[in-house]
Amino acid sequence: MNDTNIYSRRNLAIDMLRALTMFTMIFVNDFWKVHGVPHWLEHAAYGEDFMGLADIVFPCFLFAVGMSIPYAIEGRYSKGYSAESTLGHILSRTFALLVMGAFITNSEYRLSPEVCYPIGVYWFIMAIGFIGVWNQYPRTTSKMQKNIFLVCKIIGVLALLYLAFTFRNPKGGVFGFSGGILGAIGWTYLVCAVTYFLTRDRLKYLLPIWIIFILICLLTTPLREEFGGTPILDFPERNFLSGFLGALHIGNGALPAFTMGGVLLSVLSARYAGKSDLWKLRTSWMVAAGLLLLGILSHHFWIVAKIGGTPPWVFYVIAISVATYGVLNYLVNHQITGWFKLIKPAGTATLTTYLIPYVFYGFADVTGYILPDWFTHGFMGIINCICFAFVVIGVTWVLEKLHVKLKI
């Protein structure tokens, strides 16, 4: 096992990777309000053999989640937390992501006209609930402040319960527990964090498990039409394998492959921490090149598509993630980090950054504010979305100064 002191130090390159990913996520998620966006920036359509920038963001974030897992778990052990406490922490984080994901996903269906509040108010109350329950309140010895924080948490719980009980979608359906993006992150985090919890940083276990996820993806993802359009393991629709993988929330293996890939990179980085900066950069690019070649080879048999989690998509995005981290780590070691201050809150207050756009969208819905038409087309539309991403990060920075920061 590695020297755990390595994991006790914050890895700035991971913060950078997470911040860049979150900035890009806010940017591409804002495309819905503009027109004439270049196709290479958007999501590919269902069945399209294509990967746009928007198709790279979510798996890159999963990769960053994986990179954080060894630091989070080993960091807890170095502070004296027990194994039981650490496992409980993993479960509580998963629960929080699933709950947040459910509230956000339900809002995407919009509201029935019978509901007594508009979707903008839903998003406001949702934000109040999330902040009330999961805010990182300042440590204090004051009994009064502790009571105030407890009241805030109770208000947050009541706000979320109110939304859950009063929600109706346009078809009259009640609040559901589909987790959406945050839910997918939560389940994938659970699988990979528990795996690391059981194996720690032993590569003889972690590497085979990552390979298993890759094999599941290769064997259960439908091939191109010219190769039959069916998976290599073409079982009946209801079968033990799909049921087992579904119960463990592994799916076709693509999502946990991203996160476990991040875990592996962190462990390997710690193991070879003593190597020169140039060796690390060169090695990361060699690994990325190998993954890129696997992507090109698999692309002959499968289309590249986020929808369906195809093997080429997995290999290409992991290659991008490894190469990007290699560059960021090199910049950190050479103290070329001044640019990072512009987007740092997105890497250190990620959940807050993810929540803020819903507050803006809620404000626009309640007030009826509409952007000028000239600011929503083509090049100006792209500038609009870039400005919005910076504004969201700026608001996150202000909230941090006011001790408002989601922490799970």
20-68 residue pLDDT tens: 999 999 999 999 889 999 999 999 999 999 999 999 999 999 999 999 9
Query: pLDDT by residue (tens digit) across 185-211?
Result: 999 999 999 999 999 999 999 999 999
Any idea of the CA torsion for 359, 360, 364, 369, to the nearest 10 degrees?
160
Q: What's the whole-number mean pLDDT along residues 96-117? A: 93
Distances from the Cα of 165 to the Cα of 151, 161, 322, 363, angstroms: 21, 6, 44, 23
How far, rounded to the nearest angstrom, does the alpha carbon of residue 74 sit from its chain's CA centroid?
21
In a domain, 407, yes or no: no
pLDDT higher than 90, residue 239: no
Lowest mean pLDDT among 86-90, 173-177, 218-222, 275-279: 173-177
**What is the model's pLDDT at position 235?**
76
User: Cα(345)–Cα(144) distance, rounded to whole angstroms?
Assistant: 30
3-state secondary structure of 4: coil
Domain assignment of residue 241, yes or no: yes
Helix axes 143-166, 119-134, angle to 10 degrees: 140
Q: What is the 3-state secondary structure (H, E, C) of 122-190?
A: HHHHHHHHHHHHHECCCCCCCHHHHHHHHHHHHHHHHHHHHHHHHCCCCCCCCCCCCCHHHHHHHHHHH
Q: Is residue 298 part of a domain?
A: yes
Q: What is the mean pLDDT of residues 373-401?
A: 94
pLDDT score for 270: 93
Roughly what angle, to the nearest 10 degrees, separates helices 311-333 and 277-299? 170
Q: Which of 221, 203, 232, 266 is nearest to 11 (CA)?
A: 266
Residue 289: closest CA among 258, 311, 316, 312: 316
Contact 361, 311 (CB under 8 A): no
Does the pLDDT value for residue 367 go beyond 70?
yes
Lowest-pLDDT range, 136-145, 235-244, 247-256?
A: 235-244
pLDDT (mean) for 349-354? 96
Residue 2: pLDDT over 60: no
pLDDT value, residue 4: 57
- Domains: count for the chain: 1
CA distances from 395 to 224, 281, 334 (A): 45, 34, 30
Q: Band the pLDDT of 272: cuts 50, 70, 90.
A: very high
Can you give the pTM of this predicted structure?
Answer: 0.94
The stretch 324-350 carries a mean pLDDT of 95
In whole angstroms, give the CA distance from residue 17 to residue 329: 10
What percent of the chain is predicted at pLDDT more than 90? 84
| Whether residue 334 has pLDDT greater than 80 | yes
User: Does 162 reside within a domain?
Assistant: yes
Q: Is residue 81 part of a domain?
A: yes
- What is the rounded distance in angstroms from the CA atom of residue 266 to the CA atom of residue 262? 6
pLDDT of residue 1: 53
Task: Centre a 10 Å sphere on the Cβ of residue 276 and count the other Cβ atoms it contains.
Answer: 10
406 in any annotated domain: no
Task: Give the separation between CA 189 and CA 181, rounded to whole angstroms.
Answer: 12
297: pLDDT confidence band, cut at 50, 70 and 90? very high
Band (pLDDT 50/70/90 cuts) for residue 242 is: confident
In a domain, 408, yes or no: no
- The token duo for 271 is 């193991």
Q: Is the pLDDT of residue 11 over 80?
A: yes
Q: Which domain range does residue 221 map to?
A: 5-401
Residue type, 389: A
